[in-house]
Amino acid sequence: MLPQADRDNLKIKRAAGCVVYRRDADQALWLLLILDKYGRWTVPKGHLENGEGEAAAAIREVLEETGIRGELGPPVDRIEYVVRSKRGQPRLKQVAFFLLHTDETHVTPQAAEGIGAAEWCAPDTALARIGYPQVREVLARALEMLG
C-alpha cells in the first residue's frame, strides 16, 4: 500500500467486479475464475464507464467477460493498487467486489475482452489458482460470507 501522501497525488482509476458462484444439485459451491490477458487466474472485473455505479459495472463486466447473468449480492471487499497508464503514468486503481449468484453453468470466455479461459472451480482449487494475492484475499472473504 502506498503512503497517503503519494496516493493523494495519483489519478484514480475505478473498477468493479464479482465473485461469481453457483451451487450444484448436491449444494456444493462452485466459483467462476477467468484467465486474464496477463495469463493469471482471477475473477471478472473491469473499469467503470462514465456515470456508471460500481454495482452496475460489476454486473456488466461479468456479462461482457463470461456471458454469465446472475443476481448481484452484497459487497465483499475493496482493493487498491498502482497501475501504469499507456504513457507510463502511475494511477491508483480502486476495485470494488460484490458477490453474484447464478444458476448458469455454461460460460463463454470473451477473447475480445482479453479472457483466455473461464472455469468453474471448487473453493480450494480457486484459492490455490488465483494469481493475485489481493484477489485471493477477496475470494477468501467471499467464502466466509457464503459459509
Instruction: Enumerate the β-bridge partners of residue 13.
Output: 93
pLDDT value of position 4:
61
- Return the H-helix or E-strand segment holding 145: helix 133-146
With beta carbons less than 8 A apart as the criterion, state whether 102 and 20 touch: yes
At 96-133, the pLDDT tens digits run 999 999 999 999 999 988 999 999 999 999 999 999 99
More confident residue, 6 or 64: 64
Contact 44/66 with Cβ under 8 angstroms? Answer: yes
pLDDT recorded at residue 88: 86
In the predicted model, is pLDDT for residue 86 greater than 80? yes
What is the residue-averaged pLDDT of the chain? 94
Q: How far apart are CA 57 and CA 53, in angstroms?
A: 6
Fold for 4-146, please state it.
Answer: Nucleoside Triphosphate Pyrophosphohydrolase (3.90.79)
Closest among 71, 58, 80 to 6, alpha carbons compared: 80
Question: Pairing relation of β-strands 41-42 and 29-35?
Answer: antiparallel
Residue written as grid cell 454469465: 68
pTM of the model: 0.92
